[in-house]
Amino acid sequence: MNPRHSLTAAACALLLASGTTLAHEAEGKGNVGRVKFASSCSAEVQPLLETGVAMLHSFWFSATEKAFREVLAREPSCTIAQWGVAAILMGNPLAGQGALARDAAAAQAAIDAGRLTPPKTQRERDYIEAVATYYRDFASRPERARQQSRAEAFQALAARYPDDDEAQIFAALYIAGTQSQSDQTFAAYRKAAAVLETQFVRYPDHPGVAHYLIHSYDAPPLAQQGVKAARLYAGIAPAAPHALHMPSHIFTRIGAWEDSAETNRRSADAAKKSGEPDQAYHASDYSVYAYLQLGRDADAQREIQDALQVKGFNAAVRTAPYAIAAMPARYALERGAWREAMQLQPQPTRHLYPDAITHFARAFGAVRSGDTAAAQKEAAELERLHKGLQAAGDNYWANEVEVQRLTIAGWLALANGERAEAVRMMRAAADLEDGTEKHIVTPGRVLPARELLGEMLLELGQPAAALREFETSQVREPNRFRGFYGAARAAEASGDRIKAAQYYGRLVALGQRADSPRPELVRARSWVAQR
């Protein structure tokens, strides 16, 4: 999720290493994976070009740009590297934000330079024209239109050169980039995965294939199919911070929290060392989420404190602002520390929806603490942010804030004794949230709406209905601490001691390395011990 940033001295030293070292890496014996990218460039720069392509596949954008620009400095006629520069400057093709205006200008300059000194082969010229499609009429086209034209251009490239496996792999990436979060069939992901699975058989150590398979399976009904790629990817490109992080997209989907925490800890450390602050924040948010599911609250707190010391992130990109808002909100809400949540301080951003996370946490903390006046004040802020996102045409995030607004309205209705209205609004929030997938910027919403519906039904003395909601929530959000506890309580209150034992037992297993005496875990251990 990270944008481009300047390289640290260590990363620059890597890329300015001797040709022998670069060749060693490009042959897959190093730490960025194995890539073979045919070109008309000289044997002297070919290893560095392939190293750049390998790093591009792992979204190591700053290091990759340095590699391609070094290729051009050594051999200006190797103009396929201009394609590489333009490809990097699009940013993460799956993030939905697209290239920043200044990066689009730099990319167009690279494309123009590539046209001015045309590549020696038609294939290389076609690569440059394919990436140019994305930047055409850049200021006047929305990102969605740019995504679609990019996917179409690279599919045409792949069809024109059926023996060019790199063209097939990039085409699959850009197909996956067209996946809509409202399309619950995941048609684009499935189409991309079909291409990538064939390539995975041929290239099990290719960084892009493993990486893009993880993205293509990053959805509840598909996640189990991504486990193999997730287990392999970090070992394919261990130097790339994003490669260390990406397995956790699958680990989060299947609730493998120990694995997620460990790989994100490595990713955050690597990102800090290589000058990638946005990636460091992104990995830390995933780590915090994982630690909290395990009851490792001290580890979560330490991760937050360490992350917030990282400077130099790009405020124009959503990654770090989102994590900065989400991590402390998660820490308070997952632990049920309602008064603590009320004390969170908003840090306004240009994106608005990170701001909503803090106001939602403050509102939920207030209503659960009995301070309805404070909750209503925060609800008004949520409404303001929702309208701002709508006015900006940011429909996905407007929808996410509307879920938060409905949630608070529901719990305020409950506090006012309006039981039927409370359930109606909370159910509307859960249904609205379930209609779209989470964004890849986040491991998960700070609290799943359907899980909160289960909690509300428990409050209303409807444990059987609550249990159904908790179990439905677990289909999309498996192995959550609060989800297990809610289901256990609901089963116990319903008189289903078998299910209660199952869920309390799962919670005890989940919290076996917990570093905090959460009351939920104390109760679960006591219940299991009595059986």
Burial zone of 311 (CB within 10 Å; 0-12 exposed, 13-18 middle, 19+ buried): exposed
Residue 30: pLDDT over 70: no
Instruction: Give pLDDT, residue 5.
Output: 38
Q: How far apart are CA 426 and CA 414, in angstroms?
A: 10
pLDDT band at 14 (very low <50, low <70, confident <90, very high): very low
Per residue in 165-174, pLDDT (tens digit) is 999 999 999 9
Q: What is the mean pLDDT of residues 388-394?
A: 95
Residue 381: pLDDT over 70: yes
Q: How far apart are CA 431 and CA 476, in angstroms?
A: 13
Per residue in 189-226, pLDDT (tens digit) is 999 999 999 999 999 999 999 999 999 999 999 999 99
SS3 133: helix
Rounded to the nearest 5°, which phi and psi values hold at 58?
Answer: -100, 15
- Tell me what the pLDDT averaged over the chain comes to: 93
Contact 439/398 with Cβ under 8 angstroms?
no
CA angle 366, 446, 216 (to 5 degrees): 165
Q: What is the mean pLDDT of residues 177-189?
A: 94
Residue 25: pLDDT over 90: no
SS3 1: coil
Report H helices in 30-100: 46-57, 61-74, 80-88
Residue 1: pLDDT over 70: no
Per residue in 296-349, pLDDT (tens digit) is 999 999 999 999 999 999 999 899 999 999 999 999 999 999 999 999 999 999
Per residue in 408-433, pLDDT (tens digit) is 999 999 999 999 999 999 999 999 99
Residue 15: pLDDT over 60: no
Instruction: Give pLDDT, residue 10.
Output: 37
Structure-block tokens of residue 454: 């289960």
CA angle 404, 410, 493 (to 5 degrees): 110
Report H helices in 416-448: 419-434
CA distance to 81, 145, 164, 215, per residue, from 87 (Å): 10, 17, 17, 18
34 vs 486, residue with greater confidence? 486
Q: How far apart are CA 90 and CA 180, in angstroms?
A: 18
Instruction: Give pLDDT, residue 9.
Output: 34
SS3 114: helix
Q: How far apart are CA 176 and CA 144, in angstroms?
A: 13
Residue 129: pLDDT over 80: yes
pLDDT band at 516 (very low <50, low <70, confident <90, very high): confident
Instruction: Give pLDDT, residue 98.
Output: 86
**Percent of the chain with pLDDT strictly greater than 70:** 94
CA angle 66, 75, 124 (to 5 degrees): 85
| Residue carrying the six token digits 């004794």 | 417
Q: How far apart are CA 33 and CA 71, in angstroms?
A: 19
Q: What does 312-323 look like in DSSP terms, one character per residue?
A: ---TTSSHHHHH
Instruction: Give pLDDT, residue 13.
Output: 40
Instruction: Give pLDDT, residue 224.
Output: 97
Structure-block tokens of residue 220: 């509840």
Residue 8: pLDDT over 90: no
Burial zone of 390 (CB within 10 Å; 0-12 exposed, 13-18 middle, 19+ buried): middle
